[in-house]
Amino acid sequence: MDEIIDIKVLFVEDEPIIRNSIERTLSLLVKKVYSAKDGIEALEMFKNNKIDLVITDIRMPHMDGLTLIEKLRENNIEIPIIIVSAYNEIEYLHKAIDLKVDNFINKPIKIVNLIGLISEISKNIIRSKDFLIKKRELEHYRQAIEYTNLVVRISKEGKILSVNNELKEYFQRGINQKNEITLLEELLDLKYIDELLETTKKFKIYNKTIPLTYHEGKYTVIITAFASIFDDENFISEITIMFNNITQILKEKDEIIKQLYTDTLTFLPNRQKLFYDIENKYKDVGLLIVDIDSFFKFNHIYGFDIGDEILKQLAILLKNYCSNEKEYILYKGESDHFIILSKDKKNFHEKIVNEFAQRIIQDIQNHTFNLKDNLYTNISITIGASFTGEKDLFTEATLASNIAKMSKKSFKYFNESDDLKEDFKNNLNTQFKIKKAIDDGLIVNYYQPIVDADGEVLKYESLIRMCDPDNPNVVLEPAAFLPIAKQSKNYPLLTKKVIDTVFKDGMKFKHHFSINISFEDIENPEITFYLESMLQKHKNFDLTIELLETEGLKDIEKTIKFCNIMKSYGVKIAIDDFGAGYSNFIYFHDIPIDTLKIDGSLVKRVHEYRGHMLLDAIVRFAKNLGIITIAEFVEDEKTLEKLKKIGVDYFQGYYFSKPKPLSELE
């Protein structure tokens, strides 16, 4: 870090070695670090010091982390809190979510992750501090208004008796000084004069903020009037009127409010303005949250200037969809988020929202962003929407956006029946299970044989399975955990585990094996390096790598490079699930393919005329290129015989064997 972050952090940890180590590290990052060994000591430190951020362990003697958080929340302390957790603390973490903990970090603490988390949270803390400073400025202006008095004395009939010099200076600038204010009507509308006289005659104080026009000048004033002098018979003889000219103060106040509610980069109203508008101006509204996919990569690769330029250009594009202010208002949210507020109830229907969102998504995807120095780029976005009219509208739209990203969709409409909040908690629970399974050795390889026409086993395909950490006798299929793992840093660990086990089992079992590699693996250099290291260590290992055709081989250049590296080690390349996606025959020209695995959805149609003809064409095409064919999902003898006649080389499916652990193969 180039600069010390101007925040004060309280770190709570009962282990002295960890506490002292983290305290020393944090002292290089933030202005001040306080450390405590348990919740009781932390509470005392919190009372005696101004703390901006709390980082606490869960399990501690005397008072644990959750009890500490409860104590802070009981006093309405909305301080950001980071929980330090182990993977066996799922129940605690669910409770932590309910206590509105800002984030979690896993044990053992990785300093790089902790620094990144603190840096991100500190931005919000500093923004909140700035917001409080502006609010205090507004309070000072309010006090100044109370002390500013310009005085006029009038008779009980309303005739001006005297005007003080301060009032003359305010209302006679640029006017010939000989023009004295002689009539109250020159300053006030008759209706206010009548109200004022009626109120003061009853011995009451008249106080009102009114517009005032005097000789081309327009002002806003607070007038306070009261009976000030009485005659001998105790009747009112004189009334004092105090004018507080708040015109300039209101202008300055409006300017400060405008600054508070405006994003400085895009000049759009910001998230605070959105919350204010929902609370005070608009009821029964809908929200769409627009989130740029992988925006951090632009900042990381090209720098923040390019990232800012993308945000400014996207703001201009999105404004086009909000040009009708009777229906839509565009706001700038945190980081790379934009928010569209819909005021018109007719837009709340899910079909209309979906069409509106898809139009935006397609237009943004088709737009080329022209950046500096002849740099051009395209972006994609994800949109989450909520039109329920509930108090939690923003949270619901945010959850919808998060779930859309997890499921690799571009749009999600929040629906109470979807129970997205529960899904989010379930996903979190699954992530912890995956990590625990990795740590406890519960990630296992199952193997399914690939056979020739005579039923002889030629090789085995390795298929990942996870034993449930809560019940290791239950073996989970990939669909139960792999999609969620791909959204986290655990996914490369799973791939490495599969690779490691295949090489270990292969050396023991002396057979040819194949493994599945996804595009996430291909674009991760860590996986390529790991595969290379294993191939260098185990020379002449008989391995096939299966690439998933359903992923469309997203980046053909990266895929070609990866395949060429693997081929240099003697690895064979197979295209898996061929025919399940939008099969692209350019693969066969650019990628050194050895084997084509025909997807089960086609194999099952071999008994139909069109299915038979399609399979026959694929097999003949492959043979002309010298590519071996394997039919997947062969489940009965009738299907096998049909495939043999077509000329399929090898076969795989439950007809021969279901996937089994290595122990059952032996």
Residue 645 pairs in a beta bridge with: none
Give the tens place of pLDDT for each residue, 525-558: 788 889 999 999 998 899 999 997 655 455 677 7
Same domain, 458 and 491: yes
Same domain, 140 and 154: no
CA–CA gap between residue 543 and residue 537 (Å, rounded): 14
- 179: domain CATH number? 3.30.450.20
Mean pLDDT of the chain: 83
Q: Of 418, 440, 471, which one is at a domain's C-terminal end?
A: 418
Q: Of 189, 219, 245, which one is at a domain's C-terminal end?
A: 245
User: Is residue 102 pLDDT above 70, yes or no?
Assistant: yes
Same domain, 73 and 136: yes
Q: Please compute the mean of the pLDDT values over residues 619-642 and round it to a whole number.
A: 94
| Residue 23: half-sphere exposure toward Cβ, Cα within 13 Å | 16
User: Is residue 351 pLDDT above 60, yes or no?
Assistant: yes
Ranges 261-265, 435-439, 648-652: which has the least confidence: 261-265
Tell me what pLDDT residue 494 has.
Answer: 94
Same domain, 61 and 93: yes
CA 158 from chain center: how many Å? 64
Same domain, 240 and 288: no
Structural domain of 274: 262-418
Tell me what pLDDT residue 299 has.
Answer: 78
Same domain, 401 and 487: no
Tokens encoding 505: 């089992």
Residue at 250 is within a domain: no
Same domain, 231 and 379: no
Same domain, 354 and 411: yes
User: Is residue 246 pLDDT above 90, yes or no?
Assistant: no
Ranges 71-80, 94-103, 359-368: which has the least confidence: 94-103
Cα dihedral sign for 228, 234, 236, 237? negative
Tell me what pLDDT residue 426 has.
Answer: 76
Q: Please compute the mean of the pLDDT values over residues 166-190 and round it to a whole number.
A: 62
Tell me what pLDDT residue 420 has.
Answer: 58
More confident residue, 497 or 121: 497
Tell me what pLDDT residue 416 has.
Answer: 60
Residues above pLDDT 90, as percent of the chain: 34
User: Is residue 93 pLDDT above 70, yes or no?
Assistant: no
Same domain, 208 and 326: no
Question: Nearest 5°: CA angle at 323, between 321 and 327?
Answer: 85
Ranges 349-358, 423-432, 530-539: which has the least confidence: 423-432
Sheet strands (E) in 231-364: 236-245, 286-292, 328-332, 337-342
Q: Please compute the mean of the pLDDT values over residues 648-665 and round it to a whole number.
A: 93
Same domain, 430 and 448: yes
pTM of the complete model beyond 0.75: no
Tell me what pLDDT residue 142 has.
Answer: 43
Residue at 253 is within a domain: no
Tell me what pLDDT residue 585 has.
Answer: 67
Tell me what pLDDT residue 138 has.
Answer: 54
Tell me what pLDDT residue 549 has.
Answer: 65
Give the tens place of pLDDT for each residue, 211-224: 877 666 677 888 88
More confident residue, 367 or 99: 367
User: Is residue 119 pLDDT above 90, yes or no?
Assistant: no
Residue at 256 is within a domain: no
Residues above pLDDT 70, as percent of the chain: 86
Tell me what pLDDT residue 285 has.
Answer: 86
CA–CA gap between residue 55 and residue 28 (Å, rounded): 16
User: Is residue 85 pLDDT above 60, yes or no?
Assistant: yes
Give the tens place of pLDDT for each residue, 384-411: 998 865 556 787 888 888 888 877 889 9
Residue 381 pairs in a beta bridge with: 292
pLDDT band at 418 (very low <50, low <70, confident <90, very high): low
pLDDT band at 464 (very low <50, low <70, confident <90, very high): very high
Residue at 257 is within a domain: no
- 124: domain CATH number? 3.40.50.2300
Ranges 26-30, 43-47, 157-161: which has the least confidence: 157-161
- 544: domain CATH number? 3.20.20.450
Q: Please compute the mean of the pLDDT values over residues 284-298 and round it to a whole number.
A: 88
Tell me what pLDDT residue 313 has.
Answer: 94
Q: Please compute the mean of the pLDDT values over residues 135-161 and round it to a whole number.
A: 65
Q: Please compute the mean of the pLDDT values over residues 160-189 and round it to a whole number.
A: 63
CA 470 from chain center: how many Å? 30
pLDDT band at 661 (very low <50, low <70, confident <90, very high): very high
CA–CA gap between residue 69 and residue 58 (Å, rounded): 10
Residue at 251 is within a domain: no
Q: Of 398, 418, 438, which one is at a domain's C-terminal end?
A: 418
Same domain, 240 and 305: no
CB neighbours of residue 187 within 10 Å: 23
Residue at 393 is within a domain: yes
Written as one string, the DSSP assignment of 121-142 is: HHHHHHHHHHHHHHHHHHHHHH
Residue at 518 is within a domain: yes
Question: Nearest 5°: CA angle at 569, between 568 and 572?
Answer: 90
What total of structural domains would you count in the chain? 4
CA–CA gap between residue 592 and residue 612 (Å, rounded): 27
| Helices and strands (DSSP H and E) totals, the chain | 24, 27
- 278: domain CATH number? 3.30.70.270
pLDDT band at 180 (very low <50, low <70, confident <90, very high): low
Tell me what pLDDT residue 4 has.
Answer: 84
Same domain, 215 and 268: no
More confident residue, 245 or 55: 55
CB 64 within 8 A of CB 71: no
User: Is residue 610 pLDDT above 70, yes or no?
Assistant: yes
User: Is residue 635 pLDDT above 90, yes or no?
Assistant: yes
Residue at 543 is within a domain: yes
DSSP 186: G
